[in-house]
């Protein structure tokens, strides 16, 4: 079986990443998988969020937004309020990125990762996590001089990918047309060491049994291993974790 | 190991259910697990949602809300806007309940399931699904005379439960104090036949490997089997599925 | 003349009250009159409202909300903003309950009384006041140990009832079908000693003269005397006022 | 006892009224009582409100707003949302004005009466009703040619006044300083024939007995009789009711 | 060429101004040009805006609002949010009035100028500036005793006018019917000394060349000189600038 | 005098433009001047705006938004509501782009131009106009086959630039640091033929006379001539105007 774009069922889309895409934010990653394109920026505020009571820890939060021109037809700008899909996605991104960080080592600071989707062709939430972690790494590096032990801020790297089931086959990294027809939709977030950070699986057209879940998890793990390698290559010497 | 309330690690909390708790909505289920108490009402509107273009199918939507007095300290009423946690939860409940329904057999109607939490002590989202399905069953029964084939509206029963990991042990159906200290939090939604509808697992304090995931899924499946039996007993002759 | 439910024109609907309905709020009253059912919870915050400048007094505020499933057809949830009817009602409940309390004796605390209507069949605002006062009594009792003179917090008990005019007859405690056709609608809030706290009368279909107003006030006063006796019986030894 | 401004306890403040104050709205009344000044405009839209199902009746609605400069210190402009006091007041004004109108004779039109307070010194809600009725009379007169039976649109004239209790004395038409210290605050809306349209009484500092209520109603009725005479004189030949 | 109201092309509409129109705000100017009528009130708060960091300067801000009855058909009240036209206008008024004030001499205070349009017939933004400056002058005079050097608060007087192009002729001070058909719309704000504060020119139906711009600026300057003379006469001895 | 970045006072910043930056919108222009970077996308909806009554014309509207990461410190996302500066800017962009289009030739369609600022270093509103016109040109070209006379849609090209006054010198195309200290700020929008579309000049620190205005307009006109040449080169054969 060949897919629309000629990929095999267990292949990622081609990925392109530019570090320092803008200079206004200390972490600024332009990340593209196929046609899905996201600008992930990470900003650091020297203050805890107001609700935090412990005085030594930091926090990581995320916002997700699709630019109106990122889809066709144009998506109405979320100005009245954040729509419920975006709310759900940005909570997922925030939780996932927080799992990567040692909040004591970060100290009383807030990292905000903004994932602004420039073009949407499926898999925006997982690509936002993969790119957002890179932006966060660059942002933390920019303040390394202010941190007592910068080497301990990251507990792990984090990457994410989607898998789906279509006509009984498990597909890796679905584009929009595949996502629309998939019967099961599973988003997996893992550390570079291969542990789970978050699993979200939804039966879209049919419920699914344990065996099919296991197959999907295998395919996802292999995809995330490739993404981790790309992240490592992108950062090079700036990789923030022990080798 | 005994838990706060004396349960074994794989036991559900005691469950109490009252059908027809109020008469204003055709489905009205008061459901209690330990101290967590939810009023699930299901209302039916003889119209499709405005965005639906196919003219013969129905739709199921859910709303989730915690009453201000359901927690201590009091939770500020969500009047300005739905908070992001509630948004995420009601999307989960809605997707899960939709998986149970054959939309063609329902016809051009909208079922709205409201899960209003009267007292919150952990597990509100999963208990809302378990109770919401019962409210939906009673609401559909109330219009059976208007449906060409009422027996085909439900594709399956749906129930849900949480599992968590605490000090390397897997616990079923966490209460609030257990949930606060759990290292992994997994919500599982399954059909009465034991297929998955939704899986949402989050590393809270530590990431987790495949083996631990497998253990949690086993414990969840056993819990859901018990909940399905309770649902079946609650509805008795009103059980809307074959057998 | 007999009414729909067999009551005489000057009879209250049957009333059922459960104290401590939930344990999350210190005052939690489930109160039912006929089919109208309200959960009144009272929570206490150890802080004054921000606008209060005198440093020794407390405050009482109320919120009123109908659950979506409390009416048929379903009432749209007030999430965008509080609707104007609810705003008017919760201002009435708040003013009425404040009249019962000696704010200096309460000290710098805020009591919030939430009236969440589980089922609406007329008279929700007056039943909310009657039940809200009970919830407030239980909540204050729960902090009696922290108060220098707990016995002085309450200046009086408060109860409320509606009366209406239908075909020249004055009816006590209207249900929804009666309320819809009443020509005059009068809500009366009184202390246990029989003084007025609030009167709100509205000509719905016809204006009304002084004599008819007097008749309505007589019927309301007799109804409130009965409600006060029920409140006293409900609280028993917990009655917070000198005998 | 003399009052701040030298009035006797049962005297109205001096009233000044200008008809046709602006020409943009068909009814435009500038009304002043002491320093309280309101611009009441009435506009007519040739359409029913969207929720109205009967096809032949009209509707009357009111909006109330205080200009920021109408008080000292300046009142924050109600742009985020209508504050709850304004909501309550505009519901009162709307209900009161609707009582004056025969909706069938008005036909499928909506009259909107805007009460914009230019200067606030107590009694704005009652002065808004008194002035709003005049604006409505002029607006209806402007479309008399389009109405099959213009003479039947008004069922009565409507005027309103406040009374209060201060040191055991009943005062008519309170200004702001009197209102702030009044122990009871009663707003009375009556027809020109002396029937009640709306009564709203609130115990501010003390509850009140039946006798005191009766005294207040007597004083209010006398005040409203004077206001009706002023309304009649203001409109002259344009008085819309049979003599 | 004669205009609708008989004016020559370079004539202002007749202007009428009342100082101290209300007493609730220290500056209260009722200003009318033809039928356009605005109540400009200026209030002073003894605090800087929260974002101001320098501790010695003051600030001037403006709000613009059209009353619903100021136009026909009635303008929907801006309660949900400020509409974008009003936002643009009040930013223009605020910037213009700030240019008149020496913020150090004002000291840590905030002047808010509210321009509430009672009747709108074109030119509301420019008339609001002309009247707003007068209200600000009276408000500052009311606190002169608290200012170390009240004579230095004003750097200049400010007035504004619109000009437009219609059939190749430049018209001064357009009313609504002229504004609707003008091909170019230019609003000019100048000091009493004839310097520019703000210029906003928009091609409505046709773009325009440099020569036509120059003609419009000449006509505007002449109009503003007349407005300045009217302002000076209105304030008389209260004119806050050196002669 | 040399500027921070070495430019002469009458030089534009280096400009970089990419057409077809994303494929989801028919017009997608990435435009950069110095560090200011904007993604301008133009989408076409085959429907008129709802308020349009004439059935044959089209409409052009614009939205302006700064991404949170486009500034340092991070700009809070405009989700509650559009802030007033953005409102003012997007009205300017919309008016300017509409001046370029023959609405009859466009037919009953709506073009929405989204200017999303990826990095902000001064001059975003003028660069948004220059880039927005290019995006609009590509979007119209994409539907040329559906238009009866595509060659008549554009009446002219449109470009914009800012000029300012700093220490008595007129500077072209201010960056953020220059803009912050400029004494006068003038934004000029012109057609490719050199006519004015919009002029907005504001005295920031000092008012300005006619001579200084004339100098600024000269400098702006020269800058816009260069921008027009760049636009023409960018589109090449796709230039939508004669010649």
pLDDT tens track for C200-233? 999 987 899 999 999 999 999 999 999 999 999 9
SS3 A72: coil
Residue indicated by tokens 């620190």 = F205
CA torsion, ordered D29, D30, D33, D37, to nearest 10 deg = 130
- What rounded mean pLDDT belongs to chain C? 95
Which of B190, B191, B201 is nearest residue A198 as measured by Cβ atoms?
B201
Task: Tell whether B76 is within 8 A of chain C (Cβ).
Answer: no
Mean of the per-residue pLDDT values for chain B? 95
Q: Which tops the pLDDT comparison, D55 or E159?
A: E159
Are B139 and B25 in contact by the 8 Å Cβ rule? The answer is yes
Contact D156, D170 (CB under 8 A): no
User: A85 labelled as ligand-binding?
Assistant: yes
Q: Is A74 on the interface with F (CB under 8 A)?
A: yes
The answer to whether A203 touches A186, Cβ cutoff 8 Å, is no
- On the CB side of D178, CA atoms within 13 Å amount to 27
Task: Inform me whether the C-beta atom of residue D119 falls under 8 Å from chain E C-beta atoms.
Answer: yes
Buried residues in E96-113 as b, exposed as e (16+ CB within 10 A): bbbbbbebebbbbbbbbb
Residues facing B65 on adjacent strands: B116
Q: Does C6 reside within a domain?
A: no
What's the predicted TM-score (pTM) here? Answer: 0.90
**Rounded mean pLDDT of chain F?**
95
Pull the structure tokens for residue E223.
Answer: 């109009």
Show Cβ contacts of residue B133 under 8 Å, excluding neighbours closer than 6 positions: B97, B100, B157, B158, B159, B231
pLDDT of residue F100: 96
Counting CB pairs under 8 A, whether chains C and B reach 3 or more, is yes
Binding site annotation covers E98?
A: no
Q: What does the pLDDT read at residue F53?
A: 84
Residue C1 has what pLDDT?
62
Query: What's the mean pLDDT in C148-154?
Result: 95
Residue B168: both structure tokens together: 């390397």
Angle at A115 between CA F73 and CA F127, to 5 degrees: 65
Whether E40 contacts E129, CB under 8 Å? no
Q: How far A139 CA lies from chain F's nearest CA (Å)?
A: 12
Per DSSP, A147 falls in state: -
Please tell me the distance from the alpha carbon of residue A205 to that of residue A185, in angstroms, as a whole number. Answer: 10
CA atoms of A222 and A34, how far apart (whole Å) = 19
**d(Cα C123, Cα C92) in Å, to the nearest integer?**
13
> Among F24, F43, F135, which would you mutate to test the A interface (most chain A Cβ atoms within 10 Å of its Cβ)?
F24
The region, left, alpha or beta by phi > 0 then psi within -120 to 50, assigned to residue A80 is: alpha
User: Which residues make beta-bridge pairs with A27?
Assistant: A42
Rounded to the nearest integer, the mean pLDDT of chain E is 95
Specify the CATH number for the domain of residue A208. 3.30.230.70
Residue C39 touches partner B, C-beta closer than 8 Å:
yes
Least confident of B23-32, D79-88, F93-102: D79-88
β-pair type (E27-33, E36-45) = antiparallel
Q: F24 and chain A: CB distance < 8 Å anywhere?
A: yes
Any D CB within 8 A of E83 CB: no
Q: Is residue E213 part of a domain?
A: yes
Whether F69 has its CB under 8 Å from any CB of chain A: the answer is yes
Residue A155 included in any domain: yes
All residues of chain A having their beta carbon less than 8 Å from the beta carbon of residue F119 are 22-24
Q: Is residue A1 part of a domain?
A: no
Helix (H) or strand (E) holding E37: strand E36-45
Confidence class for position A206, pLDDT limits 50, 70, 90: confident
Q: Which residues of F touch A67 (CB under 8 A)?
A: 39, 41, 114, 116
* Token couple for D17: 């009224």
Q: Is the dihedral of CA B43, B47, B51, B53 positive or negative?
A: positive
ipTM of the complex: 0.94
- How near does any CA of chain E get to the CA of F190, in Å? 8
CB-based contact, C156 to chain B, within 8 Å = no
Any idea how long chain E is? 243
- The pLDDT value recorded for residue A178 is 94
* Polymer length in residues for chain F: 243
Answer whether A81 sits within 8 Å of B84, measured CB to CB: no
What residues contact residue D116 under an 8 Å CB cut-off, 6+ apart? D38, D39, D40, D41, D65, D66, D67, E67, E68, E69, E116
For residue B159, which of B177, B147, B172 has the smallest C-alpha distance?
B172
The answer to whether position F107 is within a domain reads yes
**CB-CB under 8 Å, B213 with A207:** no
Q: What is the pLDDT of residue F55?
A: 84
User: Could you tell me which residues are beta bridge partners of residue F198?
Assistant: E202, F189
d(CA B58, CA B52): 9
Out of A82-86, A190-194, B211-215, least confident range = A82-86
- Name the minimum distance, in Å, from the CA of A114 to any CA of chain F: 7
Asked if B114's CB is within 8 angstroms of C67's CB, the reply is yes
Query: Within an 8 Å CB–CB cutoff, is residue F146 touching chain A?
Result: no
Query: Are A25 and F69 in contact (CB < 8 Å)?
Result: yes
Helix/strand/coil for C70: helix
F201 touches E: beta carbon within 8 Å = yes
pLDDT one-digit tens code per residue, C36-65 = 999 999 999 999 998 998 889 999 999 999
| Chain C touching partners, 3 or more CB pairs below 8 A | B, D
* Interface probe with C: pick from D61, D191, D207, D219, most Cβ of C within 10 Å: D207
- β-partners of residue A119 are A37
Q: How far is CA F86 from CA B8, F9, F81, in A?
A: 59, 28, 10
Note whether residue A22 is domain-resident.
Answer: yes
Closest chain E CA to residue F203: E197
Instruction: Name B42's bridge partners.
Output: B27, B113
SS3 assignment, position A170: strand
Does the structure show a pLDDT above 70 at C80?
no
On whether the CB atoms of residues F122 and F175 are closer than 8 A, the answer is yes
| Domain boundaries, position E192 | 15-238
**List of chain D residues whose C-beta atoms are within 8 Å of the C-beta of residue C156:** 207
Whether omega for the bond prior to residue D167 falls within 30 degrees of 0, making it cis, is: no
Confidence of residue F167 (pLDDT cuts 50, 70, 90): confident
**pLDDT tens figures, D138-194:** 999 999 999 999 999 999 999 999 999 988 899 999 999 999 999 999 999 999 999
What chain E residue is nearest to D32 in terms of C-alpha separation? E22
pLDDT over 70 (residue A80): no
Handedness of CA D211, D214, D218, D223 (dihedral sign): positive
A50 interface with F at CB cutoff 8 Å: no
Question: What's the rounded mean pLDDT across residues B215-239?
Answer: 98
- Binding-site sequence positions of D for phosphate: 85, 123-125
Residue A178 lies in a domain: yes
The whole-angstrom distance between B75's CA and the closest CA on chain A is 15
Verify whether the Cβ–Cβ distance B198 to A197 is below 8 Å: no
Nearest CA among B102, F100, E180, E73 for reference residue D24 = E73
Q: How far apart are CA A23 and CA A9, in angstroms?
A: 38
- Bridge partners of residue F190, in order along the sequence: F159, F196
Could you tell me if residue E150 is inside a domain? yes
d(CA A123, CA B117): 34
For every one of its 243 residues, what pLDDT tens digit does chain E have, with 9 covering 90 and above? 679 899 999 999 999 999 999 999 999 999 999 999 999 999 999 999 989 988 899 999 999 999 999 999 999 987 666 788 999 999 999 999 999 999 999 999 999 999 999 999 999 999 999 999 999 999 999 999 999 999 999 999 999 999 999 888 999 999 999 999 999 999 999 999 999 999 999 998 789 999 999 999 999 999 999 999 999 999 999 999 986
Range A72-81 average pLDDT: 82
Q: Report the number of distinct structural domains present in chain A.
A: 1
């Amino acid at each position: 079986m060949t897919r629309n774009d000629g990929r095999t069922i267990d292949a990622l889309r081609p990925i392109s990443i530019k570090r320092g895409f803008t200079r206004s934010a200390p972490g600024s990653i332009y990340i593209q998988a196929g046609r899905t394109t996201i600008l992930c920026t990470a900003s650091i505020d020297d203050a805890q969020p107001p609700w935090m009571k412990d005085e030594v820890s930091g926090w990581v939060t995320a916002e997700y937004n699709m630019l109106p021109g990122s889809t066709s037809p144009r998506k109405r700008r979320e100005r009245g309020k954040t729509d419920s899909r975006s709310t759900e996605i940005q909570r997922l991104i925030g939780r996932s990125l927080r799992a990567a960080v040692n909040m004591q080592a970060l100290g009383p600071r807030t990292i905000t990762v903004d994932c602004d989707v420039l073009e949407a062709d499926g898999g925006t939430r997982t690509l936002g996590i993969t790119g957002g972690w890179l932006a966060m790494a660059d942002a933390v590096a920019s303040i390394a001089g202010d941190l007592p032990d910068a080497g301990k801020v990251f507990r792990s790297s984090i990457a994410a990918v989607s898998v789906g089931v279509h006509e009984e086959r498990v597909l890796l990294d679905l584009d929009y047309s595949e996502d629309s027809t998939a019967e099961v939709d599973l988003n997996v977030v893992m550390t570079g060491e291969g542990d789970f950070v978050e699993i979200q699986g939804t039966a879209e057209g049919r419920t699914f049994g344990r065996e099919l879940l296991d197959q999907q998890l295998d395919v996802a793990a292999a995809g995330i291993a490739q993404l981790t390698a790309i992240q490592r290559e992108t950062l090079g010497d700036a990789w923030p974790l022990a080798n």
